[in-house]
Structure 1
């Protein structure tokens, strides 16, 4: 098993399964229920149906980026850094959905999305040490989360105040 994970199909399979787990966890946390539908949103908000396909492409690109970086980085310390930044990024990605949709706190989610954005830069920096192509594959992710951060902030501004009573149905 160790030989399989060191090369061949191991890295793509592991990266794909982890990306799928992050996507599923984020999807489970996302609820477009009555609370969400009552939120005032800007006219430039992408349609709800667009989020799934965009995230699918982002996860595929990020997975490819991770596999490229892993395959060209034989150094165990560099691989540990790669796993660390990707794990933090995945946790932050899931956390945003939990905070926004489950806790119903777009204000807290806005603070969290700024940290998520920084974690994408960290991913780009770490994978960029191995491959410029790997770093560039994360640009759509950075752009999408930038748009999401602007959307999140606009939702906070259009729906004040966020607090204990706002989240009740």
Structure 2
């Protein structure tokens, strides 16, 4: 006979997802203390967004990332989906320090390419159990693909 694991309070779990994603956001923000200065000094393509756009966009995306993970959890999501989600958060966490503080645009490009692939895998895995969880990651994928193109352009122009 197997013992049944009691269900956790879903609101506490949502807070946990928000907390984990919040740590990624805070580390990125701390690593980006000189981002505005660095960004202003970069050779940017004409289609580069203003620096003031990054904060609001990332805030909305981080909320969607947290809710997506929570919605997947509510489906009793499988380990592979959570593994991809976690690896994606790690690649996300690494990009800002690599790009802005380390000024390692080539390494940052490799990181964000891995992030792109990981988010696609996460969307596919989440989509098998929750279309809403997968859909919440689509704007994130769009933004990081745009950031990948921007990172590439900066590397080429620099």
Alignment of 1:136-155 (within 5 A): 136-155=135-154
Three-state SS of the structure 2 residue aligned to 1:137 is: helix
The structural deviation recorded for 1:130 is: 1.2
Select the residue among 4, 20, 23 that pairs with 2:22. 20
Would you say 1:88 and 2:87 are equivalent positions? yes
Q: Deviations over 1:114-146 (max 9, x none)?
A: 101011112112211211111111110000001
- Name the counterpart of 2:97: 98
Contact preservation (8 Å) 1:58, 1:141: yes
Partner Cα distance (1:140, 1:128) in 2: 15
- Name the counterpart of 1:70: 73
Select the residue among 53, 56, 59 that pairs with 1:56. 59
Segments of 4+ in structure 1 off by > 4 A? Answer: none
Partner Cα distance (2:14, 2:37) in 1: 39
- Name the counterpart of 1:125: 124
Contact preservation (8 Å) 1:7, 1:71: no
Distance change (3 Å), C-alpha of 1:15 and 1:107: same
Partner Cα distance (1:28, 1:132) in 2: 33
Q: Deviations over 1:6-61 (max 9, x none)?
A: 23312201001011101001111122264443211012111111101111111111
Q: TM-score when scaled to structure 2?
A: 0.89
User: Unpaired runs of 5+ in structure 2?
Assistant: none
Partner Cα distance (1:22, 1:148) in 2: 17
User: Unpaired runs of 5+ in structure 1?
Assistant: 160-169
